[in-house]
Amino acid sequence: MTTAPVHPAPLVASSRSAPAIALLLVSAFVVVLNETAMGVSIPHIMDEFGVSAASAQWLTTAFMLTMAVVIPVTGVLLQRYPLRRNFFTAMGLFAVGTAIAATAPVFELLLAARIVQALGTAIMLPLLFTTVMQLVAPERRGRTMGLVTIVTAAAPALGPTVSGVIVSSLGWRWVFIIVLPIAVLAMIAGAIWLRNVTPTMPAQFDIASVLLSAIGFSGLIYGLASVGEQSALEGGIPAWIPIAAGALALAGLVLRQLALRDTDRVLLDVRVFAGGLFTVSTITIVVVSIALFGSLILLPLYIQQVLGEPAYVAGLMLLPGGILSGVLAPFVGMAYDKVGPRALVLPGAIIVTGAMTAFSSLGTETPVWLVIGMHMLLSIGTALMMTPLMTTALGAVTPKLYPHASAIVNTLQQVAGAAGIALFITLFTVAATATGGDPLAALAGGVGTAFGAGAAISAAGVILALFLRKPPVGDPVSTGLENEISA
């Protein structure tokens, strides 16, 4: 049915909003940190449960698949239900999944626990982005989104480091045991301090849209994840089949959303792409996410398989870059409020491209300190890009569309992450296999090939950065879009 447009309440700038944002930041950091914590644990889990690497990798792949399926639905959840309900749903699911994972007696139950964790994570990330955009005035969003970037960029980078130290000293179950009381404390804090300070509006679930979204995004994620596996192993469903099915479903999803655009049943309002600024910012986010997630998966492999360092050393080598990214993020946010996105994203894209080019020269004798320095350079570049891009993308739509824009950006980040992992691992495996001679030199050559492709992709970010500008206050490409929606 068609409903009259409902506009959210004005931005809230009061003492009630600060505790809400702070609590969401801490909670989101914990859940995202856990997303990338499984990589170092997988060999230990394989030994304990007697499962193969192909089975164990589903602890990560299933997490990504769940995120890709659930995040698009959050556009409706965040509109329909108040802040407290969404928060307790997200943290409750994450806490339950964490408790099950910590005590899982069999692998199948551990895998189910990771899926429950992912359900909570998928709700928490869009909830954080949407709440910030609704509560923080435009002139102060940059500094706040800088803190959000600590969650989206630094936490994934720190996950392998933290888990590597925990697994090496205490065992893989402690990755979950340590996180569980933090999740419970966050829920207690939410019960005490969190208030419903964000607006709600009518929204209904359209079953056809949900099914098309689930098939589309999960098909893409599964297919991309399968590419890397099939480059090394034969058998299984060809990767192009789920990718093609996902692409067809997404095409149907877009058509369905356009048909529902004047109703309260739209799942993802694709009209956010009517604004060029949102489109350019989102595409650039996809580009930098491919580079970030691809490097996060390939660098530990290089450090362990080529340099011969243990897993915990690989994690510690990536720690300085993760810390640097987190430290820089708030300052980049403050700079965004003053100079806008282009002055930050352009040099950031150049630095990321330079770092990827430097990584393409890695060899069997590359000093550890040089690898750490290259990763720190990459962290500086991504820190300069992520906060301005996120702030610009979400600021380029009307408040009514914040939940949809947040869901779309977060979903595309998951797809980009899967694409980055698939691309880097595939190129690494194919190049290493095709190269004869010394096995270590072959692996190093595969690493160089993968990062060379990453440098070429990152260069696109340099071009895209030239088209960025700061969304005008009160009209972020949104006035025209708002008029279109209200028509």
- SS3 for 193-246 is HCCCCCCCCCCCCCHHHHHHHHHHHHHHHHHHHHHHHHCCCCCCCCCHHHHHHH
The number of residues making up the chain comes to 487
Residue 6 lies in a domain: no
Residue 10 lies in a domain: no
What is the predicted pLDDT for the residue at 355?
93
Residue 437 lies in a domain: yes
- Evaluate whether 358 touches 454 at the Cβ level (below 8 Å): no
What is the predicted pLDDT for the residue at 460?
92
- Evaluate whether 52 touches 61 at the Cβ level (below 8 Å): no
Please give the Cα distance from 16 to 21 (Å, whole number). Answer: 9
Domain membership of residue 74 as a residue range? 17-486
Q: What is the pLDDT along the chain (487 residues), one digit of tens a residue?
A: 333 334 344 444 445 577 778 888 888 888 887 777 776 677 778 888 887 666 777 787 788 788 888 888 887 788 788 888 889 999 999 999 999 999 999 999 999 999 999 999 888 888 888 888 777 777 777 778 777 777 766 677 677 777 777 877 888 899 899 889 989 998 998 888 877 767 777 777 788 888 888 888 888 877 876 765 554 445 567 778 888 998 999 899 889 888 887 777 777 788 888 878 999 999 999 988 888 888 877 887 788 788 888 767 877 888 888 788 878 888 888 898 888 899 999 999 999 999 999 999 988 888 989 999 999 999 899 889 988 998 898 888 887 788 888 888 888 887 888 788 778 887 887 777 766 667 888 888 888 888 998 899 999 999 999 999 888 765 443 333 333 333 3
What is the predicted pLDDT for the residue at 449?
87
Residue 108 lies in a domain: yes
**CA dihedral in degrees (89, 163, 316, 221; nearest 10)?**
-60
What is the predicted pLDDT for the residue at 16?
58
Please give the Cα distance from 52 to 246 (Å, whole number). Answer: 27
Q: Which of 423, 300, 427 lies closest to 43, judged by CA?
A: 300
What is the predicted pLDDT for the residue at 54?
61
**CA dihedral in degrees (453, 456, 457, 461; nearest 10)?**
160
- Evaluate whether 117 touches 97 at the Cβ level (below 8 Å): yes
Q: Backbone phi, then psi, for 263, in 5-degree steps?
A: -120, 175
What is the predicted pLDDT for the residue at 356?
93
Crossing angle of helices 311-339 and 368-395, rounded to 10°: 40
What is the predicted pLDDT for the residue at 39?
67
Helix (H) or strand (E) holding 265: none
Number of domains in the chain: 1
Q: Backbone phi, then psi, for 353, in 5-degree steps?
A: -60, -40
Residue 12 lies in a domain: no
Q: Which of 289, 295, 284, 384 lies closest to 344, judged by CA?
A: 384
- Evaluate whether 315 touches 169 at the Cβ level (below 8 Å): no
Please give the Cα distance from 252 to 362 (Å, whole number). Answer: 43
- Evaluate whether 143 touches 333 at the Cβ level (below 8 Å): yes
Residue 186 lies in a domain: yes
Residue 9 lies in a domain: no
- Evaluate whether 392 touches 279 at the Cβ level (below 8 Å): no
What is the predicted pLDDT for the residue at 228?
56
DSSP one-letter string for 44-87: HHHHHHT--HHHHTHHHHHHHHHHHHHGGGHHHHHHHS-HHHHH
CA-based torsion, 126, 129, 130, 135: positive or negative = positive
Please give the Cα distance from 32 to 246 (Å, whole number). Answer: 25
- Evaluate whether 476 touches 279 at the Cβ level (below 8 Å): no
Residue 3 lies in a domain: no
- Evaluate whether 250 touches 281 at the Cβ level (below 8 Å): no
What is the CATH number for 26? 1.20.1250.20
Query: Rounded to the nearest 5 degrees, what angle is found at the Cα of 113, between the Cα atoms of 111 and 116?
Result: 115
**CA dihedral in degrees (294, 297, 303, 309; nearest 10)?**
170
Strands (DSSP E) contained in 287-365 are: none
